[in-house]
A and B are shown apart, each in its own frame.
Chain A
């Protein structure tokens, strides 16, 4: 079965550079979540999209922005990168029932993008 695809798998950047992470959800999934996992930490929610509209926002820095496109893929744009942005970035997708009610579907995660800031 198709899974969540993230690219790139690894990314090395220098301070103050920009980065774009991409996420392709499982086909027919309408909701995308982004999480950041620092070294030795649990994943922290950044932002989510439902039907191409931002549905919730967590502890995402103003330097970061994201969007979901018409084909449901999502991109996380990161600017003015700092050393503290070094982390594993996960994208997850799920499908909500019609009406956007309670979802009985688990979030399926991509393999993550490991971002290293030098």
Chain B
């Protein structure tokens, strides 16, 4: 069963628009970690943000922000004032102690930012 669901397959926006990526996860662990990774066309996986299950405080880091809600098992990610360089595939991932902390990825959301 898919542990991480990213319902949006593709999102296309015009530069400077905000983009919010949805992520819903499933776990029975009480301690777990959630991540967002970015994969640009060049192929590498770039770590963006991490949240642990005990900290629901939502923060902003530059143009990135996230909304972690345990009650709905969601970990949404927002890019504010998008730029063309933000065009990439974005993966939400879950790491569980009961699963040796390996990452379970969602299917990814392709974000295209048009100039």
- Interface residue range, chain A: 20 to 34
Pair A43/B102 contact, Cβ less than 8 Å: no
Pair A106/B50 contact, Cβ less than 8 Å: yes
Task: Give the B interface residue count (CB, 8 A).
Answer: 24
Cβ of B57 to closest chain A Cβ, rounded Å: 15
Interface window among A17-25, A62-70, A75-83, A109-117: A109-117
Contact of B100 among A41, A43, A48, A90 (CB under 8 A): A48
Interface window among B17-25, B64-72, B75-83, B104-112: B104-112
From B31, B91, B103, B106, residue with most partner A Cβ within 10 Å? B103
Secondary structure dominating the interface of A: strand
| Interface presence of A14 (CB below 8 A) | no
Q: 9 smallest A-B Cβ distances: which pairs?
A: A56-B100, A42-B105, A109-B45, A45-B102, A111-B44, A106-B50, A106-B47, A102-B31, A55-B100
Binding site for B on A (CB under 8 A): 31, 33, 35, 41-45, 48, 50, 55-56, 58, 88, 90, 92, 94, 96, 102-104, 106-112, 114
| Interface presence of B41 (CB below 8 A) | no
